[in-house]
Structure 1
Amino acid sequence: MNAQVRVWCLRHAESENVTAALAGALPDAPLTERGHEQSVRAARALAGDPIRAVYASTAVRACETAEPLAAAHGLPVLVVPGLVEMGIGREEGSGDPAVRARTAEVLRSWVVDGDLDERVADGESGHEVLDRTTTAFRCIAEWHSGETAAVVGHVASLTLALSRLCGLGSSVWGAPLAHAEPFLVEWDGGRWCCAAWPG
């Protein structure tokens, strides 16, 4: 991995699990009508960029967000399981505000306090989420030396991974990723950089 790699990152567009205030990875939740419009706007914003591959988590909402972008470049959507959202175990799909609060508390522990042992119920630890997400980014960098790719993921897993990879630390906390707003991260052969966190 010696040549520069540019990766446009996006949190998925607005989805039904978000509007219903349900917690968890919820892989089958589709985009809302507004979410489909957001994904088309994101594709238009990146239409002039020489994107060589479009990756998404296995979640329906991530794939649906990626589809207009991939189509604009004549590409398929390539799914990467390591990009999925943090798992919260038995609390998956809960509408309980206390579960959502606990999920935010755990993410804060990971990003701000660096405590990756924390987890929601019997869900994933920060170590697990960080390992699989950073592995996905490293593989993409290996596959696209000297090229540009796009990644559609999720707020918690992207925030944790990129805050670590790019050395942003706790500065990203309080600036949550908006739906379907592209931002650039770059691999220069030695380190990752995110010049402007979009939150």
Structure 2
Amino acid sequence: MDLLLIRHAEPVRIVDADGPADPHLHERGLHQADRLAAWFADEPIDAVWSSPMKRARETAGPLAAAQGLPVLVDEELAEFDAEATSYIPIEELKAEKDERFLAMVEGRLEDFQVDPEAFKLGVVGAIERVIEGHPGKKVAVVCHGGVINAYVGHILEIARPLWFEPGYTCINRIAASRGGVRSVVSLNEMAHLRPLH
């Protein structure tokens, strides 16, 4: 089975929402999502799964539509900060030297009121369900940087919850055998965005 873990496109910034911050895509993000869908025009996909969060669903939408597929949703594909009242894109946190960026770099998910092990177990369970439900197929899972870190880190036995920074709409390819072997084929593929830079 070919698994494509895809990070969502660029979202807008939300600060101090009344409830959980769940941003839509930025205009640049909409273009990124369209480029992602176009990239797979000659590479058929059998199913498209998504996090329930808007930025992931809005990224998955054009890809699924181009493939003639529905977007399937699993709640456990949500990002670790799903309940936070603010969403600031990571590149802005980095530029502002925000303490939240440092917490992410150091893998301190506890600073976000998240149990790192419980988050990882939920992510791994969700992705394994996707794999089990589509044997021998090619499946895209549109999710988040933390989700990708958790699952790929699980495969590579990396204890740190956040160990690399996936780019917007990056493609991370995993080969999943029916015998349970999981192999990382590629990380952070972003050639589809070249025309936007």
Q: TM-score scaled by structure 1?
A: 0.78
Find out whether 1:11 has 2:7 as its counterpart: yes
* Residue type of the alignment partner of 2:174: V
C-alpha spacing 1:146/1:94, structure 2 compared with 1 (3 Å): closer
For 1:119, the equivalent position in structure 2 comes to 110
**CA distance, structure 1, for counterparts of residue 9 and residue 57 of structure 2:** 10
- Shift of residue 194, structure 1, vs aligned partner: 1.1
Q: Partners in 2 of 1:102 and 1:178 — Cα distance?
A: 21
Q: Which runs of 5+ in 1 are unaligned?
A: none
Write out aligned runs for 1:40-189 (5 A): 40-87=34-81, 92-93=85-86, 101-110=98-107, 119-121=110-112, 123-167=113-157, 173=163, 175-188=164-177, 189=179
Distance 1:35 1:78, change over 3 A: same
In 2, the alpha carbon distance for the partners of 1:130 and 1:101 equals 24
Q: Could you state the TM-score of these two structures normalised by the residue count of structure 2?
A: 0.78
Query: 1:42, 1:182 within 8 Å by CA — same for their partners in 2?
Result: no
**Cα RMSD between the aligned structures?**
3.1
Alpha-carbon distance between aligned partners in 1 of 2:15 and 2:173, rounded to the nearest angstrom: 28
Residue 149 of structure 1 aligns to which amino acid in structure 2? V
State how many pairs are aligned: 182
**Which secondary structure does the structure 2 equivalent of 1:194 belong to?**
strand
2:24 counterpart residue number = 30
Alpha-carbon offset, residue 28 of structure 1: 2.4
Distance 1:40 1:8 in 2: 17
Deviation at 1:139, TM superposition (A): 0.2
Native 8 Å contact 2:51 2:142 kept in 1: yes
Structure 2, unmatched stretches of 5+, are: 190-197
Q: Is the 8 A contact 2:21 2:86 kept in 1?
A: no
Letter of the 1:51 partner, please give it.
I
3-state secondary structure, aligned to 2:186: coil
Q: 1:71 to 1:88 in 2, by over 3 A?
A: closer
Secondary structure of 1:190's aligned partner: coil
Matched-pair identity in %: 26
